[in-house]
């Protein structure tokens, strides 16, 4: 949450490496790390970046407090002078990042960190867990909202989330992905994610009759009345009692916004029956809300079957991203600065997908004359592109596959967040991030947003960067 100081939220090997850098007199070496991911969740065509606000707060609060130092001292592994070094350590480097709410794609640097090696290394675990969690939930939320089309979607997963932080930050991430509101009150209090809620089955069970439960609730909340109709029998008692209460209490008061909610059973069958019963009673304005282990696939099926649903409540399968719960972002060394010169580094693997792209880099989004996203281009950090001339981009694995753009705009995706340890980024409000994320998604081609076999969005390397990567691969093979 906002108030937590989480410098010690790190893998222990980050500390053992930090001590090794310190003892070998390498603590001041400047390095560049890239944070990127390898696959979109659910075999999708895109992902949504979330978590930058948490990262900014972490870096601004980055320090080892007295309790941390004493814990490390008691491990009897680190020297006193190293512990004093940690006590005074603050982040002094540079961070560049995609803006929160950006659509993003595999293998492009989402965040770059340029800093002394110990500072850069100690950020790894926190940065990864933030991006891996919040981007996963934002992406899942985006898919769910897409499947619901114009209908409202509520995030209702607090009680099924993997802990308090997962619940609260997950609700925030879901709002970036397009979800309209949450059941989570703390997410509203801390981040301004609109919290909504009505009743549970326990409310209905507490009263002697279902009718009394509905009547009491409608008397207390006449302008915000959603009645849960599946506690006993949805069609035989729940909906008839709801109709009776609405017509007796709400319609005479001129209230014309009210809902019923169904949380179990065959939702297509029940909502069709419910819609007819409501319409026959003259309650065409009554919305139908459904919940019960929903996700984008089930929502799509329900609507394809003609279920007359107005609002979806989505819980566990959103807040845990149940269908594909691991995002898989990684944090890899890309360059070392020696004597003021940046020298590229590369990680080689027998698995081609795990070979890293070397050097300190920039990422540009290629936008066509209609404002649609065409491809992303990764370049060397000091590479200059003449936008007055046609631009040819090359597939990173198959350079004979290329595409040339005559009319285009290049949008730089990595924006400065920290410079020399100082925050230089003006953080937007959540509603601005939500609007930006919506605009980003609208600029994707529909083919990229398909759930099944989406069109591959290309993330290409510039020719100089591609040539450098191939040269370093061949050099590494010869050394091996």
Q: Using one digit for the tens of pLDDT, what is the confidence trace for 54-69? A: 999 999 999 999 999 9
Q: Using one digit for the tens of pLDDT, what is the confidence trace for 133-188? A: 999 999 999 999 999 999 999 999 999 999 999 999 999 999 999 999 999 999 99
pLDDT of residue 2: 41
| Nearest-angstrom CA–CA distance, 462 and 308 | 50
| Average pLDDT value for residue range 384-391 | 92
- Across the chain, mean pLDDT equals 95
Q: Using one digit for the tens of pLDDT, what is the confidence trace for 428-442? A: 999 999 999 999 999
| Average pLDDT value for residue range 421-427 | 97
Q: Using one digit for the tens of pLDDT, what is the confidence trace for 281-313? A: 999 999 999 999 999 999 999 999 999 999 999
Question: Phi-psi category of 227—alpha, beta or left, where left has phi over 0 and alpha has psi -120 to 50?
Answer: beta
Q: Using one digit for the tens of pLDDT, what is the confidence trace for 91-121? A: 999 999 999 999 999 999 999 999 999 999 9
pLDDT of residue 1: 39
| Nearest-angstrom CA–CA distance, 53 and 130 | 10
Residues 24-43: b if buried by 16+ CB within 10 A, e if exposed? eeebeebbbbbbbbeebbbe
Q: Using one digit for the tens of pLDDT, what is the confidence trace for 343-387? A: 999 999 888 889 999 999 999 999 999 999 999 999 999 999 999
pLDDT of residue 3: 44
Listed residue (310, 313, 311) closest to 295, CA to CA: 313
> What's the pTM?
0.95
pLDDT of residue 106: 96
């Amino acid at each position: 949450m906002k108030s937590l100081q989480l410098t010690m939220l790190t893998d222990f090997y980050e500390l053992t490496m930090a001590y090794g850098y310190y003892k070998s007199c390498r603590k001041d070496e400047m390095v560049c790390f890239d944070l990127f991911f390898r696959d979109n969740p659910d075999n999708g065509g895109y992902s949504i970046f979330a978590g930058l606000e948490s990262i900014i707060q972490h870096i601004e609060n980055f320090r080892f407090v007295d309790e941390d130092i004493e814990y490390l001292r008691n491990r009897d592994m680190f020297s006193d002078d190293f512990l004093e070094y940690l006590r005074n350590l603050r982040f002094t480097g540079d961070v560049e990042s995609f803006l929160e709410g950006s659509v993003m794609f595999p293998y492009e640097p989402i965040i770059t960190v340029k800093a002394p090696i110990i500072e850069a290394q100690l950020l790894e675990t926190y940065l990864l867990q933030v991006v891996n969690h919040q981007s996963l939930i934002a992406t899942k939320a985006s898919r769910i909202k897409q499947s619901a089309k114009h209908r409202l979607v509520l995030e209702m997963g607090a009680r099924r989330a993997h802990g308090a932080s997962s619940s609260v930050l997950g609700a925030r991430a879901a709002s970036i992905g397009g979800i309209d509101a949450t059941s989570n009150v703390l997410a509203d209090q801390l981040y301004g994610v609109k919290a909504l809620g009505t009743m549970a089955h326990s409310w209905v069970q507490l009263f002697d009759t279902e009718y009394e439960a509905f009547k009491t609730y409608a008397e207390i909340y006449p302008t915000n009345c959603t009645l849960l109709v599946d506690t006993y029998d949805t069609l035989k008692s729940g909906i008839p009692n709801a109709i009776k209460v609405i017509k007796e209490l709400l319609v005479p008061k001129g209230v014309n916004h009210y809902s019923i909610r169904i949380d179990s059973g065959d939702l297509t069958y029940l909502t069709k029956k419910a819609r007819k019963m409501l319409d026959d009673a003259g309650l065409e304005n009554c919305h139908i809300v459904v919940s019960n282990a929903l996700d984008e696939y089930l929502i799509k099926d329900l609507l394809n079957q003609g279920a007359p649903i107005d609002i979806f409540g989505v819980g566990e399968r959103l807040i845990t991203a149940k269908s594909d719960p691991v995002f898989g972002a990684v944090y890899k060394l890309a360059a070392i600065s020696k004597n003021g010169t940046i020298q590229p580094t590369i990680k080689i693997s027998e698995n081609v997908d795990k070979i890293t792209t070397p050097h300190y880099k920039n990422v540009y989004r290629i936008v066509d004359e209609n404002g649609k996203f065409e491809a992303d281009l990764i370049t060397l950090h000091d590479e200059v592109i003449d936008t007055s001339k046609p631009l040819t981009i090359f597939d990173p694995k198959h350079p004979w596959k290329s595409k040339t753009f005559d009319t285009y705009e290049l949008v730089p995706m990595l924006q400065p967040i920290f410079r020399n340890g100082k925050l230089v980024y003006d953080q937007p409000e959540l509603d601005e991030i939500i609007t930006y994320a919506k605009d980003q998604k609208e600029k994707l081609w529909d083919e990229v947003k398909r759930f099944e076999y989406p069109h591959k969005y290309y993330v290409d390397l510039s020719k100089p960067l591609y040539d450098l990567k191939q040269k370093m691969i061949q050099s590494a093979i010869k050394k091996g």
